[in-house]
């Protein structure tokens, strides 16, 4: 652990916590993520109808490109969240906090400018030699890729401002800004495509405008919340305070890139652009799980960091188990719904039987892998709060050596579905091997409590209830199954799940019986 952490004064954190304030931050982040997810779900079929599946494949390609380039984050966004939380707990460190933010901000904008120019000048080789299109002409693809460079340059610095806002525990304004940005991007894109021209170039032009405005607004909020009496200066001293942790995070980012983004890069190279679109749709729907639990990250991680800094071990363990339990309570019912009703959800969403046929198996595989991934979030943030990045680096090196070759093999043999199998194998391996090792090294004796108290009941109850709903639909509602019956089945399963889970019963009782 870094020495600056050990020098923090021991302040009783839990006595200062306001539960309602914490709940408000979680609700605000959940609302924001829900808006972002719904914007994607509602508007993607509209984009596909307006610009076509193949053009939408370029949207998926940009997601792959930006996901690959985010490795240039260098670990600073997570490192600065942790350091901001530490400095924010010390009133006399306000100017140091401002200098840290200003210094990292300069680095990020410089990286954004360089990378944007590189993408701009490499647009022709990417269009000619990388993207495999059937109908889209090369000049159209090239122009779209050039605009992608601008979008990335304007979007990249937003991650540092997000990191600062999380460290300051200013999740509510950050969440509202994110939700508003998602709506502006979605409604604006449809308006531009309808009123100006339904082309992929105009889609990305609007993305550049809306992303740029969002980043500048986040910069304004960050400057407002980190203002000090003295002028901010570039500070090597403050950068050194996050150097070691950021270096570890950079190592994690580089290796995780192969596990989290390499599949999409390989898919974009080996399969037709149309199937890149199918793959992206499946990944986007499965990613709803991470969108749902991500509000916990922005609240729990800074708390982990502060509890570690103030050496409150018992409170840290309690918070860990509570966080893990709520992750399981939320992700398992949603995940099993996507697994058992993949075809129905996709058809209700797109009304496209061909898309459903190609996307449903990928969605089911992605969803199981994403459930496993979500389970590992709280152990991951627990280790980061303790300043430990080596565990994740070693874990991902081993996973890369074993599984990255499978990506080329299975994608070449099974197409996009083969790539989704790699995602499942990576994350299932974390549960089987990494999770027990984590508990043995960092929380000895807590694995059984995790299995018994945090995971078993949500897993079994949601799995059995939704499997029963699927069997009921299969055997009794095959001729008349529609959105009404689908909603009724999920509502029935949801009510039963609510009564089976003690935390949900207590929450609802407190909500409805509160005077």
Extract long-range pairs of 20-24: CB within 8 Å, 24+ residues apart. 22/299, 24/172
Helix residue ranges, H only, 341-429: 342-350, 353-375, 377-385, 390-414, 416-429
Please report the pLDDT score of residue 239 as a whole number: 67
Max avg pLDDT among 156-160, 229-233, 252-256: 156-160
pLDDT at 197 over 70: yes
pLDDT at 242 over 80: no
511 pLDDT band, cuts 50/70/90, is low
Which tens digit of pLDDT belongs to each residue from 371-388? 999 999 999 889 888 888
Contacts with 240 (C-beta within 8 Å, 6 or more apart), sequence order: none
Residue-wise pLDDT tens digits, 402-438: 777 888 888 888 888 888 888 898 899 999 999 999 9
Name every residue whose Cβ is closer than 8 Å to that of residue 46 and which is 6 or more positions away in sequence. Answer: 190
To 10 degrees, the CA torsion angle through 495, 497, 500, 506? -70
What is the distance between the alpha carbons of residues 98 and 279, in angstroms, rounded to a whole number?
42
| Angstrom distances, CA of residue 293 to CA of 30, 65, 137, 329, 370 | 8, 25, 40, 10, 12
Q: Tokens for 275?
A: 């199937």
- DSSP annotation of 341 reads T
Q: Which residues, other chains included, contact 140 with Cβ-Cβ below 8 Å and sequence gap of 6+? A: 199, 200, 201
Q: What is the mean pLDDT of residues 7-33?
A: 50
Q: What is the pLDDT of residue 9?
A: 35
Q: Which of 223, 71, 73, 69 is nearest to 151 (CA)?
A: 69
pLDDT at 323 over 70: yes
Q: Is the pLDDT of residue 22 over 60?
A: no
Mean pLDDT in residue range 169-195: 85
Spell 430-467 as b/e; 16+ CB within 10 A means b.
beeebbeebbeeebeebeeebeeebbebbbebbbebbe
Give the pLDDT of residue 233.
72
Contacts of 144 (CB under 8 A, 6+ apart): 58, 200, 201, 204
The per-residue pLDDT for range 273-312, each reduced to its tens digit, is 777 778 878 888 888 888 788 777 767 877 888 788 788 8
| Residue the block writes with tokens 């019986």 | 513
The end-to-end CA distance of the chain, in Å, is 47
Joined tokens for residue 379: 């152990």
Torsion angle in degrees (nearest 10) through CA of 459, 465, 470, 472: 160
Mean pLDDT over 450-473 rounds to 91
Tens-digit pLDDT profile for residues 471-499: 888 877 665 567 777 778 888 888 888 88
Per-residue model confidence as pLDDT tens digits over 82-94: 777 777 767 767 7
Which stretches does DSSP call E strand in 13-60? none
Structure-model confidence comparison of residues 202 and 63, the more confident one = 202
pLDDT given at position 74: 57
Of all residues in the chain, the percent with pLDDT exceeding 70 is: 81
- Mutual orientation of helices 483-500 and 502-513 as an angle, nearest 10°? 100
Per DSSP, the three-state class of 492 is helix
> What is the DSSP-derived secondary structure letter of residue 438?
H
Average pLDDT over residues 154-164: 85
User: What are the pLDDT digits (tens) for 30-72?
Assistant: 677 777 777 777 788 888 888 887 888 788 788 777 766 666 6
Question: What is the maximum alpha-carbon separation in the chain?
Answer: 71
User: For the ranges 157-166, 221-230, 323-332, 433-442, which has the lowest average pLDDT?
Assistant: 221-230
pLDDT for residue 1: 35
Does residue 4 have a pLDDT over 50? no
Q: Is the pLDDT of residue 398 over 90?
A: no
Residue 15 in this model has a pLDDT that exceeds 50:
no
| pLDDT band at residue 450 using 50, 70 and 90 as cut-offs | very high
Percent of the chain with pLDDT over 90: 23
pLDDT above 70 for 217: yes
**CA–CA gap between residue 248 and residue 245 (Å, rounded):** 5
């Amino acid at each position: 652990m870094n020495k600056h952490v050990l020098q923090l004064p021991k302040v009783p954190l839990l006595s200062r916590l306001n539960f309602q304030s914490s709940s408000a931050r979680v609700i605000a982040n959940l609302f924001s993520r829900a808006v972002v997810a719904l914007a994607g779900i509602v508007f993607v079929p509209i984009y596909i109808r307006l610009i076509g599946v193949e053009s939408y494949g370029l949207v998926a390609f940009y997601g792959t490109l930006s996901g690959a380039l985010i490795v240039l984050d260098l670990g600073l966004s997570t490192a600065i969240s942790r350091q901001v939380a530490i400095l924010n707990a010390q009133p006399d460190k306000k100017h140091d906090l401002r200098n840290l933010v200003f210094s990292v901000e300069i680095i990020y904008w410089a990286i954004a400018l360089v990378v944007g120019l590189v993408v701009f000048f490499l647009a022709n080789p990417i269009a000619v030699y990388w993207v495999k299109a059937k109908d889209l002409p090369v000049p159209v693809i090239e122009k779209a890729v050039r605009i992608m460079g601008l979008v990335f340059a304007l979007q990249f610095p937003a991650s540092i401002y997000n990191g600062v806002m999380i460290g300051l525990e200013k999740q509510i304004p950050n969440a509202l800004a994110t939700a508003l940005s998602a709506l502006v991007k979605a409604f604006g894109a449809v308006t531009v495509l309808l009123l100006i021209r339904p082309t992929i170039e105009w889609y990305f032009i609007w993305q550049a405008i809306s992303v740029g405005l969002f980043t500048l607004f986040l910069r304004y909020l960050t400057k407002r919340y980190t203002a000090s009496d003295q002028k901010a200066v570039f500070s090597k001293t403050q950068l050194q305070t996050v150097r070691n942790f950021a270096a570890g995070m950079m190592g994690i980012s580089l290796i995780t890139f192969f596990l989290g983004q390499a599949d999409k890069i390989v898919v974009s190279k080996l399969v037709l652009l149309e199937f890149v679109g199918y793959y992206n749709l499946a990944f986007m729907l499965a990613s709803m799980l991470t969108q749902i639990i991500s509000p916990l990250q922005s609240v729990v991680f800074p708390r982990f960091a502060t509890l570690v800094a103030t050496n409150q071990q018992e409170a840290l363990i309690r918070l860990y188990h509570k966080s893990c339990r709520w992750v399981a309570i939320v992700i398992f019912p949603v995940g099993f719904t996507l697994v058992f009703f993949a075809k129905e959800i996709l058809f209700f969403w797109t009304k496209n039987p061909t898309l459903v046929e190609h996307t449903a198996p990928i969605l089911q595989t992605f969803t199981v892998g994403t459930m496993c991934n979500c389970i590992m979030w709280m152990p991951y943030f627990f280790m980061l709060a303790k300043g430990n990045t080596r565990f994740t680096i070693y874990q991902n090196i081993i996973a890369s050596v074993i599984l990255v070759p499978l990506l080329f093999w299975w994608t070449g043999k099974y197409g996009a579905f083969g790539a989704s199998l790699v995602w499942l194998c990576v994350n299932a391996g974390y549960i089987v091997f990494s999770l027990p090792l984590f508990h043995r090294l960092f929380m000895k004796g807590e694995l059984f409590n995790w299995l018994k108290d945090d995971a078993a009941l949500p897993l079994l109850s949601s799995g059995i209830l939704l499997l029963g709903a699927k069997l009921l639909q299969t055997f009794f509602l095959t001729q008349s199954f529609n959105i009404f019956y689908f909603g009724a089945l999920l509502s029935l399963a949801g009510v039963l799940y609510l009564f089976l889970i003690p935390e949900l019963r207590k929450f609802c009782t407190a909500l409805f019986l509160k005077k």
